[in-house]
Amino acid sequence: MIITRKKEREALLAMLRGVRRAALVGCASCAAACQTGGEKELEETKAFLEDHGIQVLAAVLPEECCHKMLVKRDLKALRGLELDAVVCLACGDGVQTVADNVALPVYPANDTLFLGQVERVGIFHEYCRMCGDCVLGATGGICPVTRCAKGLVNGPCGGQKDGKCEVNPENDCAWILIYRRLERLGKLDSLLIPAGQRHEHAHPAHLNLREGAK
């Protein structure tokens, strides 16, 4: 899931200086689960903005705010409204998808943090950096690219102390976790599988699964 956090309210207001009439767009998927862009947050944000002199003329909640077709369909609700701006309560992807489909300035209400696991409601952990070359098969299903602070794929640095990471002692050293997991799985020989050359991928990336596409 894409993990987002609400921007500081002052920062949001600062972006919206001069805006009198706005519409809100949330996201019923990740942002709703992060308590940043669901039904409840749309209502809260509406009340907050109206308290600060910004009229909220509409609020829509696409199933997925990063899905162009769904967003296009739901944004029809804004047609004919006299709006100065749209405030989007999704991740950065959602904000851009909305901005691609309205002829208005679109402002992010959230900061987009990482791709992570929902441990339980309200507790998230970064689990994947989308490196494009997954090594989980050799690391017991624990991602060193993400969960090692240095992204080391060839084994640990010398910096762990009592199993904790040198960079942030609140974090377990990912390589100790990997070692323990592989030990339990009887797969310690995986530690010697060379990670090979890592590649930095050029951005922006695209993927086309349509027939005939390369």
Partner 1 sequence: MSQLEKALRAGQFAVTAEVAPPKGADLAPALETARALRGKVHGLNVTDMQSACLKASSLGLCVALKQAGLEPILQMTGRDRNRMALAADLLTAASFGIDTVLALTGDHPAVGDCRDAKPVYDLDSVGILELLTELQAGRDCGGNPLTGVAPQYFGGASATPVYDPLPLQIAKVKRKVDAGARFIQTQAVFTAESLLPFLEGLDRAGINIPVLAGIIPLKSAGMAKFMNDHVPGIAVPQEQIDALAAEKSAGGSPAQLGIRMAAELAARLRAEKLCAGIHIMAIGGEKYIPGLLEQAGIDMQE
- Closest to 155 in 3D by CA, of 186, 129, 126, 190: 190
Longest dimension (CA), the chain: 65
**Is the CB of 28 or the CB of 115 nearer to ligand SF4?**
115
- Closest to 154 in 3D by CA, of 199, 198, 195, 197: 195
> Quick one: which of 130, 185, 188, 193 contacts ligand SF4 (CB under 6 A)?
130
Distance CA 120, CA 150 (A): 27
Binds 198: which of partner 1, ligand SF4, none (CB < 5-8 Å by kind) = partner 1
> Which tokens hold the place of 66?
């990063």
Cβ contact 148:40 at 8 Å: no
Please tell me whether residue 1 binds ligand SF4 under the rule CB under 6 A. no
Please tell me whether residue 179 binds ligand SF4 under the rule CB under 6 A. no
Nearest approach in angstroms of CB 172 to ligand SF4 is: 8
| Residue 169 CA, distance from chain mean position | 24
Binds 30: which of ligand SF4, partner 1, none (CB < 5-8 Å by kind) = none
**Is the CB of 132 or the CB of 159 nearer to partner 1?**
159
Give the footprint of ligand SF4 on this chain (CB under 6 A): 128-131, 134-136, 143, 145-146, 148-150, 152, 156-157, 159-160, 165-167, 173-175
